[in-house]
Amino acid sequence: MSDFDRESMLEMFIFEMSQLVDQLESTIIQSESEYNIDQINEIFRIMHTIKGSSAMMMFDNIAGVAHSIEDLFYYLREENPKDLDFKRLSDHVLSGADFVKAELAKIQEGSKADGDGTDLAKAIDKFLQQIKGITPAEPEAPKQTASAPASVAEPAPAADPTPSTAGDNMHKYRAKIHFQDGCEMENIRSYTLVHNLQEMAQDITHEPQDVIDEETIPLIRQNGFVVDFSSTHDFNFIHSHLSQTVYLREVILEEIGAPVGAASVAPAAAPAPVAEAPPVVADEPVIPVPPTPDIVAAAAAEATQKKGTASHMISVNVSKLDALLNLMGELVISEAMVTQNSELEGLQLESFHKETRQLRKIVTNLQETVMSMRMVPLSATFFKMHRIVRDMCRQLDKDVQLDIVGEETEVDKNIIEHIADPIMHIIRNSIDHGVEMPEDRKKSKKPSKARVLLEAKNSGGDVLVIIKDDGRGINTAKVLAKAKTNGLTTKSDNEYTDKEIMQFIFLPGFSTNDQVTAYSGRGVGMDVVMSNLEVVGGTALVDSTPGEGTTFTLKIPLTLTIQEGMSVLVAGAQYTIPIANIIKSFKAKPENLFTDPSGNEMITERGEILNIVRLHEFFNIDGAVTDVCEGTLIMLENGEHVVCLLVDDLIGQQQAVVKPMPKYFKKVHGLSGCTLLGNGDISLIIDVAGFFDK
């Protein structure tokens, strides 16, 4: 296999694996308290695929772990044991998922997936042995098993030696295999099957015997391929192994004769279910116990939903979408270059203008379609938070329910990557700092189960992500005191409004938690929220009522690459201001202007007093209009704040294709990038947030 092939296969592999692991996690977390048969099947299927793909890509450690989980779920699926410790089961599967994730990350970075999964696989195998051990073969001692963790732990020593005891325990099997019609080369397939079986079985005999001879093909087609062998592995294991044969139509596995070897078998070795197990047809997994009606209904609803979404999807490499978007950007510019060409000025071109309007319409539609292709629902990001909440609750002994609303809201792919971390940090923060311990909640007459709401909704050109908890709220006095000791305050205490104080928590190195926990308290985290959001041009707001809870609101632009902008003129150069930030533009009247003693210019507009920022002063540009009344003021908002920006003149509204500044240029405060205008000129794009924090 050439490097190139492996490279592209690896990419596909990583993509598929991550999807599967995500799916796995969400399945587990949905059903943590109890697994129904569909979820068990689902997890079994996922683990089977993970095992197969990673074995194919020669990541044996991943395949090993997946294999033991698959075995576990195979057993659950076939035997449907009762009184299962689902929490422990979930823990095992989640740690398996974590292992796969960690290995995937290594592969993605280009390093070797060298994690050792044997311990994990052993732990899972041991767990399986335990379940087998405590699963009553006949419903005799369910009382004992019902009291979960204690009794689970007890049989462990007894179960421990089982693998070795089982080793002496030879079973004789007969398997009859039918291949799918028209799969061809049945003899070779039979040969491969026998070859694979040699790893785990002895005394293999088969009928027809000389499978290399092509004349056996019709025989195999007609009568099936019959293999007799003895193996130390149990029925289920052999069956699952045989079921993996490619082009398999049916496998009938029987155990023939009594187990040979050591007659006294440890209680855990579970030969009982084997003897009972009827020959199973591979294609139709037998459901031993009919699930309760409501579970069936829910599962059916879920299944139809899945069918509805899956069939019309294809996956496309993001780089292709990026390329498409770049081309789209160039098309928007070219279109403007043609239709606004200076050579056309003053010409009477009636049909030309009609056609350009049509072109404009098509380009706009195309642009919307391209943008919509890049839109991804927030659901995957949101559902990942279940895992975080679950892990934290178990670790911190808190009881929190995460409610998710509006997860279908869509955001640009590039933006999603930047907001997953902020959301995670805020949720961690809410659970760690906000939510009280259950007993404290009872004292303050709150329900002992805390609620964290994660909500997304559209609002104009932005998406709002709201994270709301019903915890103890933010103690503004404590925050202010901490801000003071860290030297972050610039005004005297009583000048700060509660809102201003709360914004302190987003500053680097700020944490009011006196004790560092695994999750927060080190003062990193909330500043990550801000810095990540700034990259995508978003903002964050906090609101909190002591004793009732805290609400974080993240405001994120829908898309980054093509913005609606207002072109303005300063000293002959053009600048573009995102329309989303503009409230209005107006001419100042001299009587509304005033200056405070420290030289800050202000204006009263509709009863509000606003600061004036002169763009030319901010950027040290010579030759701009300096008389406030002569230029134009643009009222800008960023979150809660409003300023008036002085520019020379307005040019007009246009679509700005945002390009990053060339790498050689250092980041300029107040600029977010640049854009090409229809006439080929360059306009710098203003980062409005820059005017507020300087």
User: Residues in the site for another protein, rule: CB under 8 A?
Assistant: 330, 333, 573, 618-621, 659, 661-666, 668-669, 671, 674, 676, 680-684
Q: Give CA 452 to chain center in angstroms.
A: 18
Closest approach of another protein to the CB of residue 516, in Å:
39
d(CA 192, CA 302): 38
Closest approach of another protein to the CB of residue 570, in Å:
10
Closest approach of another protein to the CB of residue 378, in Å:
32
Closest approach of another protein to the CB of residue 364, in Å:
20
**Of 96 and 631, which has the nearer Cβ to another protein?**
631
**Of 280 and 684, which has the nearer Cβ to another protein?**
684
**Of 58 and 327, which has the nearer Cβ to another protein?**
327
Closest approach of another protein to the CB of residue 330, in Å:
6
Contact 274, 234 (CB under 8 A): yes
Contact 643, 559 (CB under 8 A): no
Local structure of residue 430 (DSSP, 8 states): I
Contact 452, 435 (CB under 8 A): yes
**Of 488 and 661, which has the nearer Cβ to another protein?**
661
d(CA 158, CA 267): 8
Closest approach of another protein to the CB of residue 665, in Å:
6
Closest approach of another protein to the CB of residue 4, in Å:
23
Written as six digits, the tokens of 670 are: 């107040």
Count the neighbouring beta carbons within 10 Å of the beta carbon of residue 305: 10
Closest approach of another protein to the CB of residue 678, in Å:
12
Written as six digits, the tokens of 664 are: 């050689």
**Of 602 and 621, which has the nearer Cβ to another protein?**
621
Place of tokens 């890509």: 57
Closest approach of another protein to the CB of residue 217, in Å:
57
Three-class SS of 519-580: CCCCCCCHHHHHHHHHHCCCEEEEEEECCCEEEEEEEEECCCCEEEEEEEEECCEEEEEEHH
CA distances from 324 to 84, 313, 327 (A): 51, 18, 5
**Of 277 and 657, which has the nearer Cβ to another protein?**
657
**Of 89 and 657, which has the nearer Cβ to another protein?**
657
**Of 228 and 322, which has the nearer Cβ to another protein?**
322
**Of 572 and 597, which has the nearer Cβ to another protein?**
572
**Of 15 and 618, which has the nearer Cβ to another protein?**
618
Local structure of residue 170 (DSSP, 8 states): B
Contact 121, 67 (CB under 8 A): yes
d(CA 662, CA 654): 22
Pairing of strands 649-657, 562-570: antiparallel
Closest approach of another protein to the CB of residue 659, in Å:
6
List the strands of the sheet with 649-657, edge to edge: 649-657, 562-570, 573-578, 682-686, 671-676
